[in-house]
Amino acid sequence: MFSRSAWLHLRIPFSYYLLPVFLFSLAVSPNFGEKSILWTFIIIHFFLYPASNGYNSYFDKDEKSIGGLKNPPKVNEGLYFLSLSFDVIAIVLGYLMINATFAIMLLVYGLISKAYSHPAIRLKKYPIMGWLTVSLFQGLFTFVMCYVGINKFELSNLGKPDVLIPGLLSTVLLLGTYPMTQIYQHEEDAKRGDRTFSIMLGIRGTFLFVAGLFGFATLGFIFYFNAYFSSYYSYRFVLALSPVVLFFLFWFMRVYRDVSLANHRNTMRLNFISATCLNIFFVYLFLHSSQVLQTF
């Protein structure tokens, strides 16, 4: 029914790079159950994120590399309907398997992702607005959405500091991460008239900005772990991120001499290292702090 190219543009494997927010939310969840963890993970990473990816691809019509696809095939109308189908499936499953609050949050996320891409609104072409929107909704909003799904909570349970603070830290991390995902797409974005945040900063400026904000985010996580857990986790968080810092600095030194190295290949390398290090740490935090392993 749908072409192979449409399925490729869903970029389901790319959800791996967005997994840290879910795992962080899981790690601080007090009321999790096996079924709610599984269904929240499946709905968000196999339906919601791919729907957003496909919808974005349909309206961008990129000819060069994008996140998760080095050589994207041409898009067709089937991709548009496939992405909408995945949105509907996510919302229906969210309502049936979790609760109405979770389903409504899935709907809101989908609408915002469409506003980011659709030519009638296209938040992507506004550098600061696009940057803030993506960081807020893939950070704080997604963290809270995962928290609702994993714990089957209602909105009344979400206004507490132990939910909002890690959610805001997720947003700060995204504020520093997102410009790096745009750094190799300056030519494509400019051709469409999209002045992204990375274009506004410039290639070297993007690296400097991300370095500063990443340092700020790290300090925020250290204070958070010291306040809500212990310094034991702060040290391990810094240790877990050391491969990310080393690769980033090595890449920056090379890009400073040759901006052509700010390419898709190196960006995906950084994304993979960063996602892997964060995923490992948050899984460790969940298993260690929740004492799940002691039940076996």
Tens-place pLDDT, residues 109-132: 999 999 988 888 988 888 899 999
Q: In angstroms, rounded to a whole number, what is the distance separating the alpha carbons of residues 18 and 188?
A: 23
Q: Tell me what the mean pLDDT of segment 206-219 comes to.
A: 94
- Residue 274's Cβ-side half-sphere holds a number of Cα atoms within 13 Å equal to 21
71 DSSP assignment: S
Residue 188, pLDDT above cutoff 90: no
Q: Tell me what the mean pLDDT of segment 179-194 comes to.
A: 82
pLDDT given for residue 296 in this prediction: 47
Question: Which of 63-77, 141-155, 160-174, 223-237 has the weakest average pLDDT?
Answer: 63-77
Q: In angstroms, rounded to a whole number, what is the distance separating the alpha carbons of residues 139 and 177?
A: 11
Residue 153, pLDDT above cutoff 90: no
Which distant-in-sequence residues (6+ apart) come within 8 Å of 31 by Cβ? 150, 151, 152, 153
pLDDT given for residue 292 in this prediction: 62
Give residue-wise pLDDT tens across range 5-64. Answer: 889 889 999 999 999 999 999 999 988 889 999 999 999 999 999 999 999 988 888 767
Domains annotated for the chain, with CATH where assigned, are 4-295 (1.10.600)
Distances (CA, A) of 234 to 6, 69, 163, 175, 221: 42, 35, 18, 21, 7
CB 246: neighbour CB atoms within 10 A? 11
Q: Tell me what the mean pLDDT of segment 213-236 comes to.
A: 94
* Widest CA span in the chain: 56
Question: Sign of the CA dihedral 287, 165, 148, 56?
Answer: negative
Which distant-in-sequence residues (6+ apart) come within 8 Å of 225 by Cβ? 231, 233, 234, 237
Residue 270, pLDDT above cutoff 90: yes
Q: In angstroms, rounded to a whole number, what is the distance separating the alpha carbons of residues 204 and 183?
A: 10
Q: Tell me what the mean pLDDT of segment 240-260 comes to.
A: 95
Q: Tell me what the mean pLDDT of segment 125-146 comes to.
A: 93
Provide the percentage of residues in the chain whose pLDDT is more than 70.
97
Q: Tell me what the mean pLDDT of segment 213-221 comes to.
A: 95
Q: Mean pLDDT of all residues in the chain?
A: 91
